[in-house]
Amino acid sequence: MAAFSLDDVGISVKRILRNAPPSALYEEAILHDTGSHITASGALVAYSGHKTGRSPKDKHVVRHPNSEKDIWWGPVNFPLADGSFKVNRERAMDYLNTRDTLYCFDGFAGWDPEHRLKIRVICARPYHALFMHTMLIRPTAEELEAFGKPDFVIYNAGAFPANRHTTGMTSKTSIDLSFEDAELVILGTEYAGEMKKGVFTVMNYLMPRRGVLSMHCSATADPATGRSSLLFGLSGTGKTTLSADPKRRLIGDDEHCWTNKGVFNIEGGCYAKAINLTPESEPDIFQALRFGAVLENVVFDDEDREVDFSDTSITENTRGAYPIEFIRNAQIPCVAGHPTDIIFLTCDAFGVLPPVSRLGPDHAMYHFISGYTAKVAGTEVGVTEPSATFSPCFGGPFLVWHPGKYAELLAMKMAEHRSRVWLVNTGWSGGPYGVGARMKLAHTRAIIDAIHCGALAGASVASDPIFGFDVVTQCPNVPPEVMVPRNAWKDRPAFDAQAKKLAGLFRQNFAKYEEGVSEGVRAAGPKI
């Protein structure tokens, strides 16, 4: 492996492994990363320490005159003074310069050459280098030779804490992003997902400036036409499961952009939840966790070298990262035509929303900005009702602009390319959680199939009296009695009360976004 230097950025470590192959990173991990193992299937097991998930309250964006008017400051983007960023950057560099070996990975974000970014990752753990090897788009030998100056650099010194006395720090963890310096500095967390989502946040800032819509969604393509379909949805809505469609080609499972040419995946890999993973429940993901993949924070048996995916003693957020080409029906390169259909998935535990509704432009923007799903009641004594969860644009923690910016781009592209928009409820029918039953997966798959084949484009609809969207009343292979939620409830007055309650939660949530959207979008909210 040729010698590589980072002297130009102030890193004097002599042994730097740049774009080392997975086999070399495996060796480094076994030798130097405490707790690393190789599973029977060949995946590398690694542990992220005391942080096993993202730290959104410790994420900061440098407040700078060049970008501060663009940024949606508040509960997602916490401002940081440039001086504090420089202190943390220096702290990270000092730590990295104490290492005997550093790992550097140069790769791309974005499969469209016109819009891709050159990303450089500098880190002290081979596990982090292998993770970004899977998640970024891997350059060819010729592309690596011509890589040149990166567009963006990640300094991952996560094993070293931030100084809590530095102005603006909220804890010993700090994830600091400077758009002007084109750098991300990580201190106090070794959770690999911070790097992945840092790149996504950068794309969420830069792409809308070019008129490109960045999206937190999965995407599939029709192998016959090349046209795509987008699936948005928060955790638990079925996005990953419904994207695994053998009749379609997988473009990507999480992060995409919509340009004037079509859709492209931002990433070169997938980062899937591994909790309760089985070959029966998720066969494509299960077989992808082999040599070259990373399993994060899973429980491992030293004797048979098998992973117990049901064991959550370390964390419920166990994860597996693997190159997208490990999925059998992946489309390489990960690009497709304009979407025929855009699907918002929600798991409505209140039992109010229909199995499928058709959304016009204003309703589409309203529900895109709302990003609704619901979680079932927890185990706390006395808690018996579902709780509503809203995340703007189905990816609130990673937005940079006001949600209205992304919604306007969506509406513009939707109109230009005549994309249909649907709200699909994978949650409860016939009553709320504890009374009704969850929609059968077979019925939801039938709805998605009917959307993709165009069967629902001209289907009969009825306007919902509270939410205002068009409820599809008939769908092939779905019982008609479940298509209109009120008809599926035995207690109709209870349904009416529940619908008004959910409508009130929507209105209460949307109030914080009203100043950034049009009157038409505001009027698309539910009527009580």
- Which H helix or E strand runs over 93? helix 82-96
Catalytic residue among 91, 99, 196, 197: 197
Residues contacting residue 142 through CB under 8 Å, at least 6 positions apart: none
Does 239 qualify as catalytic in the annotation?
A: yes
Does 379 qualify as catalytic in the annotation?
A: no
Does 319 qualify as catalytic in the annotation?
A: yes
Catalytic residue among 98, 235, 278, 281: 235
Residue 202 DSSP class = H
Residues contacting residue 77 through CB under 8 Å, at least 6 positions apart: 59, 61, 71, 399, 400
Tell the residue number behind the tokens 């060796």, with chain if given.
Answer: 27
Q: How long is the chain?
A: 528
Helices (H), 99-244: 126-135, 141-145, 193-209, 239-243
Ramachandran angles phi, psi of 57, nearest 5°: -75, -10
Dist CA 197 CA 47 (whole Å): 18
Catalytic residue among 51, 99, 116, 319: 319
Dist CA 393 CA 25 (whole Å): 36
Q: How many CA atoms lie within 13 A of 190 on its CB side?
A: 17
Does 254 qualify as catalytic in the annotation?
A: yes
Does 375 qualify as catalytic in the annotation?
A: no
Does 216 qualify as catalytic in the annotation?
A: yes
Catalytic residue among 237, 240, 318, 389: 240
Q: Is 274 helix (H, G, I), strand (E, B) or coil?
A: coil
62: its two tokens? 């440098």
First vs last Cα of the chain: how many Å apart?
67
Tell the residue number behind the tokens 């959770």, with chain if given.
Answer: 191
Of 29, 51, 87, 46, whose CA–CA distance to 188 is shortest?
Answer: 51
Catalytic residue among 89, 239, 338, 405: 239
Catalytic residue among 59, 89, 125, 216: 216
In three-state form (DSSP H/G/I as H, E/B as E, the rest C), the secondary structure along 214-249 is EEECEEEECCCCCCEEEEECCCCCCHHHHHCCCCCE
Task: Determine the Cα angle at 408 with ends 407 and 414, to 5°.
Answer: 85
Ramachandran angles phi, psi of 251, nearest 5°: -90, -40
Query: Are 370 and 506 a contacting pair, CB within 8 Å?
Result: yes
The strands making up 249-252's β-sheet, listed across from edge to edge, are 249-252, 218-221, 228-232, 339-346, 420-425, 356-359, 470-472, 461-463
Query: Are 313 and 299 a contacting pair, CB within 8 Å?
Result: yes
Of 176, 163, 160, 88, whose CA–CA distance to 125 is shortest?
Answer: 160
Q: What is the DSSP pairing of strand 428-429 with strand 335-336?
A: unpaired
Q: How many CA atoms lie within 13 A of 495 on its CB side?
A: 20
Catalytic residue among 33, 254, 348, 470: 254
Of 97, 79, 155, whose CA–CA distance to 123 is shortest?
Answer: 155
A 10 A CB-CB count for 489 gives 22
Catalytic residue among 18, 54, 116, 420: 54
Query: Are 186 and 197 a contacting pair, CB within 8 Å?
Result: no
Active-site residues, by number, are 54, 197, 216, 235, 239-240, 254, 319
